[in-house]
């Protein structure tokens, strides 16, 4: 059944969200606003124009305006939750009891105010994606320089992979925004920037927010901070002692946020084990992937191969011959094409004399790459969480002096990897 749309509410909300983006950047320092405001608005206009076009395209190919099953689930949850709000019913049942009810709740508020127009949450996705550019720019400038920061912001604004995720009815733009927001403030804390208390406050608020959008990512983010702190300590005994205190605090934090006295590391391990079991039930795949698929934590020895395939492979492990999945897979090829620059950018940080100062930048994508490789080998939508950080590395590598021999070796290796990708997925 094709969901309801309304031209009037679509135009009104699109204008309101555009104004929200303008206000978001107008209060920033002039050196940031001068570059980011035009970039964010260009990205907003392009993506907002694509939202109804993509919706009609999905309708024309028989998908009723939704590219994925999760999108239908979010829409139905928002409709039900908005009805509960409008008629003052108890906030329970479908939607409210999701593990991550945040996106459904935001959709419910929008539906309650403007009616159940399925395009409105997608316009909000576009606005949130445009606001994410601020934190991409700031982290890239702290890590590399002004030129790299501008390249990174442009890449994140217009890469096909991010564009497709943004115009779909999914929560990935919110998760990406929260991820970069969390990482920016964590990086400032790690570097002991001024206004430390402010950064800690925003970090805690964002972690609580992440609990309602993708609660499985709260502990990995805390793990990034703990691991970064541990490695940066020259006194390992002191580092491990403080890490032990941190672990206790983390468990307490989880109990407080989840409201579940049974929350524990063991419970999280059990949840991961359940994800692995469900992953093993996906459709069969050929090639190297059958050897990388992990069905339990006892098969952790498969992780190196799974990680390698996850990085280089643009196709999901349960690839179906459906147009939305095919489009998303081809869009991801752009990120794979930037892999040489990504590697050069990350390696340049390790070669610095003060490399310890950049540990969070390196550990953040590493931890999540390992996590994604363990769970599903290559679930495409999870890549959106670390895609901005990988684009920051790519921008850092892009602005480095050119090395013709190294570039030839890397791109020759990419050509060889293309053959391996085909073998890994389809052989």
Which of 92, 64, 71 is CA-nearest to residue 83?
Answer: 92
User: How far separated are the first and last CA of the chain, in Å rounded?
Assistant: 37
- d(Cα 91, Cα 368) in Å, to the nearest integer? 33
Which of 145, 72, 77, 78 is CA-nearest to residue 349?
Answer: 145
pLDDT score recorded for residue 315: 55
Asked whether residue 81 is domain-assigned, the answer is no
What would the mean pLDDT of 274-295 be, rounded to a whole number?
Answer: 56
Asked whether residue 272 is domain-assigned, the answer is yes
- d(Cα 227, Cα 398) in Å, to the nearest integer? 28
Asked whether residue 80 is domain-assigned, the answer is no
Q: How would residue 270 be classed by pLDDT, with cut points 50, 70 and 90?
A: low
Of 91-100, 304-313, 374-383, 413-422, which one has max mean pLDDT? 91-100
User: Which ranges of 172-217 would DSSP assign to H, the alpha helix?
Assistant: 172-190, 196-214
For residue 305, pLDDT beyond 50:
yes
Asked whether residue 229 is domain-assigned, the answer is yes
Q: How would residue 283 be classed by pLDDT, with cut points 50, 70 and 90?
A: very low
Model confidence over 203-256: pLDDT tens digits? Answer: 888 888 888 888 777 777 777 777 776 766 666 566 566 566 656 665 665 555
- d(Cα 143, Cα 310) in Å, to the nearest integer? 25
Task: Look over the chain and give the mean of its residue pLDDT values, rounded to a whole number.
Answer: 79
Asked whether residue 378 is domain-assigned, the answer is yes
Look at residue 387 and give its three-state secondary structure. helix
**217 compared with 268, residue with greater pLDDT:** 217
Asked whether residue 361 is domain-assigned, the answer is yes
Count up the domains in the chain and report the number: 1
Asked whether residue 358 is domain-assigned, the answer is yes
Domain holding 161, by residue range, is: 7-65+118-426
**Per-residue DSSP letters for 125-165?**
HHHHHHHHHHHHHHHHHHHS-HHHHHHHHHHHHH-HHHHHH
CB 132 within 8 A of CB 156: yes
Q: Provide the phi-psi class of 4: left if phi over 0, else alpha when psi is between -120 and 50, else beta.
A: beta
Model confidence over 15-64: pLDDT tens digits? Answer: 999 999 999 999 999 999 999 999 999 999 999 999 999 999 988 888 88
pLDDT score recorded for residue 203: 87
pLDDT score recorded for residue 133: 96
**132 compared with 224, residue with greater pLDDT:** 132
What would the mean pLDDT of 101-128 be, rounded to a whole number?
Answer: 93
What would the mean pLDDT of 358-364 be, rounded to a whole number?
Answer: 82
Asked whether residue 328 is domain-assigned, the answer is yes
Q: Find all residues with CB under 8 Å of 261, minimum gap 6, and list them.
A: 255
**295 compared with 47, residue with greater pLDDT:** 47
3-state secondary structure 266-283: HHHHHHHHHHHHHHHCCC
What would the mean pLDDT of 128-140 be, rounded to a whole number?
Answer: 96
């Amino acid at each position: 059944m094709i969901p309801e749309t309304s031209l009037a509410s679509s135009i009104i909300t699109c204008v309101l969200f555009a104004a929200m983006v303008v206000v978001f950047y107008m209060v920033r320092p002039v050196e940031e606003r001068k570059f980011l405001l035009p970039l964010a608005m260009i990205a907003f206009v392009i993506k907002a124009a694509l939202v109804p076009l993509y919706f009609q395209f999905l309708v024309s190919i028989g998908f009723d305006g939704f590219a994925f099953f999760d999108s239908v689930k979010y829409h139905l949850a928002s409709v039900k939750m908005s009805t509960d709000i409008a008629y003052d019913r108890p906030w329970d049942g479908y939607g409210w009891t999701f593990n991550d009810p945040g996106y459904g709740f935001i959709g419910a508020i929008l539906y309650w105010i403007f009616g159940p127009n399925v395009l409105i949450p997608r316009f909000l996705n576009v606005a949130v994606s445009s606001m994410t550019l601020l934190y991409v720019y700031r982290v890239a400038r702290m890590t590399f320089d002004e030129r790299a920061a501008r390249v990174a912001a442009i890449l994140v604004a217009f890469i096909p992979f991010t564009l497709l995720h943004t115009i779909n009815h999914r929560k990935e733009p919110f998760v990406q925004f929260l991820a970069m927001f969390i990482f920016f403030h964590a990086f400032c804390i790690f570097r002991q920037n001024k206004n430390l208390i402010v950064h800690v406050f925003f970090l805690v608020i964002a972690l609580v927010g992440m609990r309602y959008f993708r609660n499985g990512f709260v502990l990995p983010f805390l793990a990034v901070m703990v691991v970064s702190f541990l490695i940066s300590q020259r006194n390992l005994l002191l580092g491990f002692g403080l890490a032990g205190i941190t672990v206790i605090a983390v468990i307490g934090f989880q109990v407080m946020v989840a409201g579940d006295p049974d929350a524990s590391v063991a419970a999280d391990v059990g949840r991961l084990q359940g994800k692995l079991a469900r992953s093993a039930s996906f459709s069969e795949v050929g090639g190297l992937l059958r050897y990388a698929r992990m069905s339990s934590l006892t098969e952790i020895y498969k992780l190196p191969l799974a990680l390698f395939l996850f990085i280089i492979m643009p196709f999901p492990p349960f690839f179906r011959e459906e147009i939305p999945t095919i489009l998303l897979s081809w869009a991801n090829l752009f990120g794979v094409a930037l892999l040489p620059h990504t590697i050069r950018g990350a390696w340049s940080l390790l070669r610095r004399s003060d490399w310890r100062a950049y540990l969070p930048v390196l550990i953040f994508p590493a931890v999540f790459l390992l996590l994604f490789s363990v769970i599903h080998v290559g679930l495409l939508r999870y890549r959106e969480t670390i895609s901005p950080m990988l684009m920051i590395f790519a921008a850092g590598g892009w602005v480095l002096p050119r090395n013709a021999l190294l570039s030839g070796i890397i791109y020759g290796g990419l050509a060889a990897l293309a053959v391996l990708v085909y073998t890994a997925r389809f052989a």
